[in-house]
Amino acid sequence: MKIPFTRWPEDLAARYRALGYWQDLPLTDILTRHADSDRIALIDGDQQLNYRQLNQAADRLAASLLRRGLAVGDTALVQLGNQAEFYIVFFALLKIGVAPVNALFSHQRHELTGYARQISPCVLIADRQHRLFTDDVFVDELKQSCPRLSVCLFHHQEQGDSSLSQMTAFPADGFSPSPSAADEVAFFQLSGGSTGTPKLIPRTHNDYYYSIRGSVDICRFDRDTRFLCALPAAHNYPLSSPGALGVFYAAGQVVLASDPSATTCFGLIEQHQVNVTALVPPAVSLWIQALQDQSDRRSLASLRLLQVGGARLSPTLAASIPAVFGCQLQQVFGMAEGLVNYTRLDDDEQRIFTTQGRPICADDEVWVADAEGNPLPSGSIGRLMTRGPYTFRGYFQSPDHNAQAFDAKGFYCSGDLVSIDPQGYITVHGREKDQINRGGEKIAAEEIENLLLTHPAIIDAALVAMEDDLMGEKSCAFIITRETVRPVELRRFLRAEGVAEFKLPDRFEALPSLPLTAVGKVDKKQLRLRLRQKNAS
Ligand code: J2J
């Protein structure tokens, strides 16, 4: 069985193959190419796994899942935190051609239900320490709504046939991998989204593997790379830019942190002599604060490269990084849909401080469009349009949305407003999509507005970004209500609806009516302006 998805046209696919971007290898090659190595691959607390052990653990789990009846083309809903099991499960599923959606650990019932509805998973792998899985209420709900769901496995459950650790303990005798074909869907990435339902991004082995190899090359990851993964492991950035998969490809070492706080990370960096990590801008600010409060700065002495991306990094904060951290800065501007841009390690400082880098690949086609989709002259600010060997061609089962997100030639409109300089370096100036970027965590405005509208006191709602010194942006919900309703009550309501905590509006503002544009849409520009004026006064 093949998972349906929008394929690249044949001429481009042939070109990407001919140029060696697509090598027709499964993503599991990242691991199996080091299957005989005793080098340490992964450090998670007291647990250390070398490449052989990591590969064997994935084989054992894969073999168990095969015995439980899973087959190529099946799908999985996975929710695991920053723990070794995340990668074991990822590779195990890929080895038997089962395509996972890796939900973030911060996701709750609303998000998981949304993903399950779209992929109808055959297997669920989750953590008993997550609020949703301390009992079986939600699992039973999922089983009701997902007729294909036949296997449920849990991390942090020691006993029984639904214990993940027991499934990973059986020997993998006679197991032979059967990944999906390299030009088929390997797994689904999560879109930051701008619409009511969270969208899924089919990623093939060929396209994703290329983006990882290209990234490793640009960032010069090698056997000596010791990478701290402090952002959510499932996120595209710490997974593939070059992220943990890039480290594995290069035979380096991944050190897992449970969160990106200085308290958690500084000790790990010192203990394991970490030399590279990937952060979002707010984490950088918090690390700088922590360094100022600390007389001893030696804990970060091993750090050589600090990647910063996921949200706008101010040039001032950027310029302070080399001196404060005693290491190089690299800006990363990427998206789970594909295109990833990096400043290069040998770029001059001005470029590194003020641009978000240039694409991985010479065959990434990137240009800037006006509101009608026509190309703008070089240097102008407009919509980012792109296609290439690792940029997807359509959201999963979303024909209507795809008709808007792509132009007739298959260029994806990311919703970012950018300019491109003559050397191809991109600067992000803003955004056109209806999304809030809360320190790297993306919130689709419509998703929260729709939920607010189901509250009996609310007549209308508009979620907009408000500037925030630390987070870059936070969210403010403008609401029109039938009666007075307190913010705590609305937050409680959204929580009860099962929304991830980071999506709860940071602020509520009641208005008599929402301002409208000439065409009758809610004028969010005016709402954002109102917040700026209010903050300034
Ligand atoms: C401004 N905005 C940025 C940046 C992403 C590497 C790095 C990041 C992501 C990611 C990723 C930005 N400056 N440096 O997948 O592989 C905003 C843009 C973009 C959106 C994508 C990777 N870096 N952004 O953040 O899918 O608006 O991926 O379109 O979560 O984040 O979000 P996401």
CB distance 7 to 15 below 8 Å: no
Mean pLDDT of 80-108: 98
Does residue 335 have its Cβ closer than 6 Å to ligand 1? yes
Q: Are residues 463 and 397 in the same domain?
A: no
Task: Out of 229, 239, 333, give the residue to mutate to test ligand 1, the one with the largest number of ligand atoms within 8 Å of its CB.
Answer: 333
At 300-357, the pLDDT tens digits run 999 999 999 999 999 999 999 999 999 999 999 999 999 999 999 999 999 999 999 9
Q: Are residues 355 and 440 in the same domain?
A: no
What is the pLDDT, as a whole number, of residue 244?
99
Does residue 383 have its Cβ closer than 6 Å to ligand 1? no
pLDDT tier for residue 196 given thresholds of 50, 70 and 90: confident
Q: Which atom of ligand 1 is nearest to the CA of 189?
A: 26
The alpha carbon of 430 is separated from its chain's Cα centroid by a whole number of angstroms, namely 19
CB distance 61 to 89 below 8 Å: yes
530: left (phi over 0), alpha (psi -120 to 50) or beta: alpha
Residue 124 is part of a domain; what is its CATH number? 3.40.50.980
Cα–Cα distance, 505 to 490 (Å, whole number): 9
Residue 489 is part of a domain; what is its CATH number? 3.30.300.30
| pTM score | 0.98
Mean pLDDT of 472-488: 98
What is the pLDDT, as a whole number, of residue 452?
98
Does residue 340 have its Cβ closer than 6 Å to ligand 1? yes
Q: Are residues 382 and 278 in the same domain?
A: yes
Does residue 333 have its Cβ closer than 6 Å to ligand 1? yes
At 7-33, the pLDDT tens digits run 999 999 999 999 999 999 999 999 999
What is the pLDDT, as a whole number, of residue 453?
98
Residues 6+ positions from 159 with CB-CB distance below 8 Å: 166
In a domain, 33, yes or no: no
Rg of the chain on CA atoms, in Å: 23
Q: What is the DSSP string of 89-121?
A: HHHHHHHTT-EEEEE-TT--HHHHHHHHHHH--
Mean residue pLDDT of the chain comes to: 97
How many Cβ atoms are within 10 Å of 512's Cβ, its own excluded?
A: 6
CA–centroid distance, 116 to ligand 1, in Å, is: 25
What domain count does the chain have?
A: 3
CB distance 255 to 272 below 8 Å: yes
Nearest CA to ligand 1 atom 3: 311
Residues 6+ positions from 16 with CB-CB distance below 8 Å: 8, 22, 206, 210, 363, 389
At 72-91, the pLDDT tens digits run 999 999 999 999 999 999 99
Q: Over 80: is that where the pLDDT of 537 sits?
A: no
Does residue 439 have its Cβ closer than 6 Å to ligand 1? no
The alpha carbon of 363 is separated from its chain's Cα centroid by a whole number of angstroms, namely 23
What is the pLDDT, as a whole number, of residue 536?
81
Higher per-residue confidence, 196 vs 411: 411
In a domain, 32, yes or no: no
Does residue 442 have its Cβ closer than 6 Å to ligand 1? yes
In a domain, 513, yes or no: yes
Closest-CA residue to 29 (of 91, 74, 111)? 91
Nearest CA to ligand 1 atom 25: 310
Q: Over 90: is that where the pLDDT of 170 sits?
A: no
Task: Out of 237, 335, 361, 391, give the residue to mutate to test ligand 1, the one with the largest number of ligand atoms within 8 Å of its CB.
Answer: 335
Mean pLDDT of 254-283: 98
Domain boundary among 413, 431, 449: 431
At 312-327, the pLDDT tens digits run 999 999 999 999 999 9
DSSP secondary structure code for residue 459 in this structure: E
Q: What percent of the chain stands above pLDDT 70?
A: 100
Cα–Cα distance, 333 to 360 (Å, whole number): 11
Residue 265 is part of a domain; what is its CATH number? 3.40.50.12780
CA–centroid distance, 237 to ligand 1, in Å, is: 8
Cα–Cα distance, 9 to 284 (Å, whole number): 41
What b/e sequence results for 93-128 when a residue is b if at least 16 CB atoms lie within 10 Å of its CB, and e otherwise?
A: bbbbbbbbbbbbbebbbbbbbbbbebbebbbbbbbb
Q: Over 90: is that where the pLDDT of 226 sits?
A: yes
Does residue 392 have its Cβ closer than 6 Å to ligand 1? no
DSSP secondary structure code for residue 483 in this structure: S
CB distance 485 to 455 below 8 Å: yes
Does residue 431 have its Cβ closer than 6 Å to ligand 1? yes
Q: Over 90: is that where the pLDDT of 535 sits?
A: no
pLDDT tier for residue 449 given thresholds of 50, 70 and 90: very high
In a domain, 225, yes or no: yes
Q: Are residues 238 and 129 in the same domain?
A: no
Task: Out of 200, 210, 237, 395, give the residue to mutate to test ligand 1, the one with the largest number of ligand atoms within 8 Å of its CB.
Answer: 237
Q: Which atom of ligand 1 is nearest to the CA of 414?
A: 29
Mean pLDDT of 193-216: 95
Residues 6+ positions from 160 with CB-CB distance below 8 Å: 166
Cα–Cα distance, 460 to 474 (Å, whole number): 20
Q: Are residues 510 and 482 in the same domain?
A: yes
Could you list the residue range(s) of the whole structural domain that residue 64 is in?
48-179
Q: Over 90: is that where the pLDDT of 298 sits?
A: no
At 412-425, the pLDDT tens digits run 999 999 999 999 99
Q: Over 80: is that where the pLDDT of 295 sits?
A: no
Q: Which atom of ligand 1 is nearest to the CA of 331?
A: 14
